Amino acid sequence: MDSLNKRANNYFKLALPLVLVGVLSACGAEEEIKEEEKYAVPVETTTVIQGDVSSFYSTTATLEAPQEANVVTRISGLIESINVEEGDRVTKGQLLAVIDAKRQKYELARSQAEVEIIEQELNRLKKMNNKEFFSADSMAKLEYNLQAAIAKRDLAALQVEESMVRSPIDGVIATRFVKAGNMAKEFEELFYVVDQDELYGIVHLPEQQLESLKLGQDAQIFANKNTQDTVHAKVLRISPVVDAQSGTFKVTLSVPNSDSKLKAGMFTRVELRYDTHNNVITVPYNAVVNQDNEFALYVIDGTNANRRSVSLGYREADTVEVVSGIEPGEQIVIRGHQNLKDQSLVEVISSLDLASTSK
């Protein structure tokens, strides 16, 4: 009997510490759970507002100058002077360069003298009282010679005038091909002048977009991928023919460029505005959570963030339309939602505080 009591006491002594350890472990787990429940995720929020959102079709376009000219010389000769440089703005008729025209001037003087001689001879014959000393054929021949001499004189005068090279359009000197002192050949290119106050954006769109496009439709031009500066263009022309090989049609955009920020030949990004929804619910696109093609927002409810499914509409840049699932004036999480789940405890802080917390 005593041996049985001793064995029972030994079992009790061994079991008691194990029970105490289990009780303490359970208490520690409960405390950890309570601490986890008390931990609040730092987030940044914003208020749901209403605004306008448009639908766009994104593509690319090459910019072209509607007016450009290759300025050539119509006579050969030594270039005496050049009055403009690349980048200079010029007007139509402005003097660009002067070509040595001494030969042409001598030819003009000789042609003028011939005209004067023939005119004097005609006047002398017309003043003669006795018409028997000359025939009507001689008079007609002199009149014909006078017309030929006048034409020759006018051609010489034109060549002298063409020695003064002038701009045929308003624009900017894009390229200068010669230098003063060079020998210019006939019809040699001297300057390239381009008018960039208005540019054309050439776009090739799939034939499915033809029904959605109309003249005067708004478009936004982005010079490169990294800039947010936009230029508002308009649809100027729509080709009525679809290219059978590519399945696209040509669209010409009118791009204002009075500040000369854009250049002919640039490869730009274009967003054609198709439709606009006015006074609709809008949120920042970075606030939307996309999981398995289901969109959701985290909405602040007291100290918790509730996950709420939403339906989206048009997206414009960093703003997206919310068709259903949320109301104006509600607070939504825009930063920190990667660490959230439904009913998570949150702490709303500013963007600066959130940035320091993430570090």
Torsion of CA 324, 220, 270, 275, to 10 degrees: 40
Q: Which residue, 60, 41, 153, is CA-closest to 104?
A: 153
For the chain, the first-to-last Cα distance in angstroms comes to: 70
d(CA 296, CA 331): 14
The amino acid that residue 21 corresponds to is V
Q: What is the pLDDT along the chain (359 residues), one digit of tens a residue?
A: 454 444 545 544 444 454 444 544 555 545 554 444 557 888 888 899 898 888 888 888 999 999 999 999 999 999 999 999 999 999 999 999 999 999 989 999 999 999 999 888 888 877 766 666 566 777 788 888 889 999 999 999 999 999 999 999 999 999 999 999 999 998 999 999 999 889 999 999 998 888 888 899 888 888 776 666 788 899 999 998 999 999 999 999 999 998 888 888 889 989 888 878 889 999 998 888 888 778 999 898 888 888 888 988 888 878 888 998 889 999 998 888 787 888 888 888 875 554 555 55
Taking CA atoms, 238 is separated from 1, 251, 255, 256, in Å, by 111, 5, 15, 18
d(CA 152, CA 100): 20
Model pLDDT, residue 20 = 46
Whether residue 80 contacts residue 180, with contact meaning beta carbons closer than 8 Å, is answered with yes
Model pLDDT, residue 353 = 53
Residue 13: phi and psi, rounded to 5, are -65, -35
Given the structure tokens 């100027």, which residue do they identify? 236
Q: Pairing relation of β-strands 344-348 and 41-47?
A: parallel
Coil, helix or strand at residue 347: strand
Model pLDDT, residue 11 = 45
Q: Which domains does the chain have, with CATH numbers?
A: 41-54+278-348 (2.40.420.20), 57-66+196-275 (2.40.30.170), 67-194 (2.40.50.100)
Model pLDDT, residue 33 = 47
d(CA 317, CA 54): 10
The amino acid that residue 309 corresponds to is S
Taking CA atoms, 116 is separated from 108, 148, 233, 304, in Å, by 12, 12, 60, 105
Whether residue 197 contacts residue 79, with contact meaning beta carbons closer than 8 Å, is answered with no
Which H or E run contains 287?
Answer: none
Q: What is the DSSP string of 196-210?
A: -SEEEEEEEEEGGGG
Whether residue 238 contacts residue 261, with contact meaning beta carbons closer than 8 Å, is answered with no
**For residue 343, is it left (φ>0), alpha (ψ between -120 and 50) or beta?**
left
Which H or E run contains 285?
Answer: none
